Amino acid sequence: MKILVCIKEIIDPESPLALSEDGAVVQDKNTSYRMNRYDEFALEEAVQIKERAPGTTVTAITVGQLRSSEMLRRALGKGADDAIHIVTGTRFLIPPKKTARLIADYARNKNFDLIFTGVMSEDGMYCQTGPMIASMLGIPFAVSVISEALDHLKGSVAVECEIEGGIRERAAVSLPCLLAVQSGINRPRYPSLSNVLRAKTQEITKIVARDHELSATGSPAGLLGYPPQPDRGVMLEGSREEKAEKLAAILHEKGFV
Amino acid sequence: MTKKLLIVCETLDNSLITPVQELAAFAASCSISSDETTVMIAGQDVSAAVPKAAAAGIDVMTVEHEALRYYNPPALAGSVIEVCRRIGASRICFSHTMQSCAAAVIVANELDCAIVTGVERAGENNGVIEFARSAYNGKMLEKTMFGSGDGFVCTVQSGSFASDPAAPNATGNIRKFDYDAVSEKFIPLGITAADESAISLNEADVIVAAGRGVGKEENLAVIYETAKLFSNSAVGASRIVCDNGWLPYGRQVGMTGKTVSPRLYMACGISGAQQHLVGMKNSQFIVAINSDPHANIFSTAHVGVADDLNLFLPVFIEKCRGIE
Ligand SMILES: Cc1cc2nc3c(=O)[nH]c(=O)nc-3n(C[C@H](O)[C@H](O)[C@H](O)COP(=O)(O)OP(=O)(O)OC[C@H]3O[C@@H](n4cnc5c(N)ncnc54)[C@H](O)[C@@H]3O)c2cc1C
């Protein structure tokens, strides 16, 4: 069984976020990066399948700037067998259609039985890349997958997808297929020492994304800006004591305490 | 020339899911609706949904197929594409649900047109249509512009556009559309209801909700202490807290959890991702406590406190006890 897992390096939404004049997210020494949370679950699911079915290979792929190779090493440390890096420029929030095009072009004709992605990336929050890759490859997919069980005899996967309100839908998806994984499907592991040592020296295949591929038509680039200041609320000012006193007074006045 | 618009409504087990009035309000806000707008309703049996969806005199097209009883993104997308070809629509608007978003992606790929997901604001100026959506848990807004002649597919975040209460309640023409090209590669088998253990969340007057910012499970103690200050209160959580196993999923508030509207909602260490906000933004009074002064939760809160919750809440609890 051949599995491809798509992972993405994101700027931690908690690290200071600022925009440069041309609307790009500023990256400097204060910027912290990490693997998209949903992709951690996707990777873990793939590695668990490999542990159950010997002979399975798990390939991790990312589309991202040069530094994203480090995240791929972390994926190797968590149990991926090899890693592919499609190298782009440093600008963040590549339109999902372009990311999907690059990954689909890589995956085509490579006979992957299963492709995993996270249900969304925490930075762009598009929820598009997974289903877009599947559509481009012409394979079925399921989104928000919260459990999966392979049925090799039937050549399909039984999935549960979490939908609005926490309702779960059960579905059968034919292989090969793509599963966009929801958080909570498993407990992602930490990298193991033996894998980390292997990952240190392992070759990461680099493919440079050509400019014209990145400027493909059909997905207008969005312009980033700051959200307008809300007109509704007040921020309490002062020392911790003062803020606590003010909040207690407000809630008292409203009859809550 | 204005482009024809198709508004897609989905059903789940024969009940209407899509807030069609909100989608109509969205279309009006950016002037993309016209006399030729069509509402399409897909499902196994849409008879109960039609009267709700057929609003303001908009023409309705129904697509019924047993494969559409449960969420089935490829079948929904396939029928949308055929309806678009039939009526010549090149602008397609869905609500931002799990199924619709997936179907929208298929449609955008097949029709090779632009797609914007999770639209929260929209406007039109001199023929330029502008959509805005959240990125980075709402800390950034991403805008996309379209010209008056452009086609596109979009999904609209629920609760973002207020339906017009004065909209006339006239029913447009209702037509049936036959669709049978259902793939066997994705077969929905049924649905399981959510865990109902947390019914009390819906009944609570006050919800104190914990986010990842509590830091670790032990720190939930201060959240429980805070909840005890209020009568008829309950503890809620963001999804990450439930994923971590700190609280059961029945406590989760948001898109894939409970939708609540208590008299008071205290969001502690919650960043304010759209998926959380849709579940609590109609609360009557919202207090947010977050160590990051730029956290998006403050844009929804009536009162905000930028502080470390683990240090702030104990002081706050003292002050409240002092009042009593
Ligand atoms: C399809 C889908 C459905 C989803 N459904 C839901 C849903 O139903 N409900 C839901 O909640 N999420 C849902 N999510 C996840 C959602 O996108 C966010 O990831 C989640 O809401 C974030 O949880 P959080 O705010 O607790 O954590 P984070 O986003 O990590 O934020 C933690 C916050 O805590 C603050 N903080 C850190 N330390 C402290 C401290 N000591 N004191 C005070 N503040 C501190 C930080 O500044 C930060 O703002 C869904 C996602 C997807 C893709």
Q: What is the pLDDT at residue A135?
A: 98
Nearest by Cα to B63 from B74, B52, B47? B47
**Rounded average pLDDT over A137-152:** 97
Q: What is the pLDDT at residue A26?
A: 93
State whether B242 and B168 are in the same domain. no
CA of A126 to the centre of ligand 1 (A): 16
Evaluate whether residue B215 is within a structural domain: yes
CATH of the domain at B274: 3.40.50.1220
State whether B138 and B87 are in the same domain. yes
- When mean pLDDT is compared across A59-63, A150-154, A230-234, B123-127, the lowest value belongs to A230-234
Tell me if chain A has a CB within 8 Å of the CB of B106. yes
Evaluate whether residue B43 is within a structural domain: yes
Q: CB burial class (10 A; 0-12, 13-18, 19+) of residue B14?
A: middle
Please write the tens of the pLDDT for every residue from B268-318.
Answer: 999 999 999 999 999 999 999 999 999 999 999 999 999 999 999 999 999
Alpha-carbon span B98 to B81, nearest angstrom:
18
Tell me how far CA of residue A140 lies from CA of B90, B211, B323, in angstroms.
25, 35, 60
**Rounded average pLDDT over A215-234:** 73
CA of A90 to the centre of ligand 1 (A): 26
Q: What is the pLDDT at residue B168?
A: 64
**Rounded average pLDDT over A153-180:** 96
- At B169, the amino acid letter reads N
State whether B148 and B233 are in the same domain. no
Q: Which of B115, B207, B228, B302 to mutate to test the interface with A (most CBs of A within 10 A)?
A: B115
Q: Are A116 and A7 in contact, with CB atoms under 8 Å apart?
A: no
Phi-psi region at B110: left, alpha or beta (left = phi > 0; alpha = psi -120 to 50): alpha
Residue A257 has its nearest CB partner, among B112, B230, B299, at B230
| pLDDT surpassing 90 at residue A245 | yes
Tell me how far CA of residue B298 lies from CA of A228, B10, B24, B108, in angstroms.
12, 32, 29, 34
Q: Are A59 and A134 in contact, with CB atoms under 8 Å apart?
A: no
CATH of the domain at B27: 3.40.50.620
* B117, two tokens: 């997901």
Please write the tens of the pLDDT for every residue from B72-116.
Answer: 999 999 999 999 999 999 999 999 999 999 999 999 999 999 999
- When mean pLDDT is compared across A83-92, A110-119, A223-232, B32-41, the lowest value belongs to A223-232
State whether B160 and B13 are in the same domain. yes
Alpha helices, DSSP H only, in chain A? 37-52, 69-77, 96-107, 129-137, 193-201, 211-214, 240-253
Residue B194: pLDDT band (50, 70, 90) is confident
- At B218, the amino acid letter reads E
Contact B249 A136 (CB under 8 A): no
CA of B241 to the centre of ligand 1 (A): 8
Q: Which of B10, B136, B275 to mutate to test the interface with A (most CBs of A within 10 A)?
A: B136
Q: What is the pLDDT at residue A68?
A: 97
Residue B199: pLDDT band (50, 70, 90) is low
Alpha-carbon span A153 to A134, nearest angstrom:
22
Q: Measured between beta carbons, which residues in chain B are less than 8 angstroms from residue A127? A: 101-102, 117-118
> Three-state SS for A97?
helix
Evaluate whether residue B223 is within a structural domain: yes
State whether B211 and B149 are in the same domain. no
First to last CA, chain A: 60
Q: What is the pLDDT at residue A217?
A: 46
Residue B18: pLDDT band (50, 70, 90) is very high
Nearest CA in chain B to A19: B140
**Rounded average pLDDT over A239-246:** 97
CA of B254 to the centre of ligand 1 (A): 10
Evaluate whether residue B187 is within a structural domain: no
List of domains in chain A? 2-214 (3.40.50.620)
- State the ipTM, two decimals: 0.94
Evaluate whether residue B251 is within a structural domain: yes
State whether B249 and B128 are in the same domain. no
Evaluate whether residue B191 is within a structural domain: no
Alpha-carbon span B13 to B173, nearest angstrom:
24
Please write the tens of the pLDDT for every residue from B164-178.
Answer: 776 666 677 899 999
Task: Tell if the pTM clears 0.90, that is, is over it.
Answer: yes
Using most ligand atoms within 8 A of CB, pick from B133, B217, B243, B291 the residue to mutate for ligand 1: B291
State whether B136 and B268 are in the same domain. no
State whether B156 and B210 are in the same domain. no
Distance from CA of B20 to the nearest CA of A (A): 17
**Rounded average pLDDT over B27-53:** 91
Q: Give the residue numbers spanning the domain of B225.
A: 206-323
Evaluate whether residue B190 is within a structural domain: no
Of residues B164 and B31, more confidence is placed in B31
State whether B110 and B212 are in the same domain. no
Closest C-alpha residue for ligand 1 atom 50: B275
Number of domains into which chain B is organized? 2
**Rounded average pLDDT over B124-153:** 93
Residue A216: pLDDT band (50, 70, 90) is very low
State whether B25 and B152 are in the same domain. yes
Evaluate whether residue B197 is within a structural domain: no
| pLDDT surpassing 70 at residue B1 | no
State whether B42 and B95 are in the same domain. yes
Nearest atom (ligand 1) to Cα of B257: 8
State whether B164 and B101 are in the same domain. yes
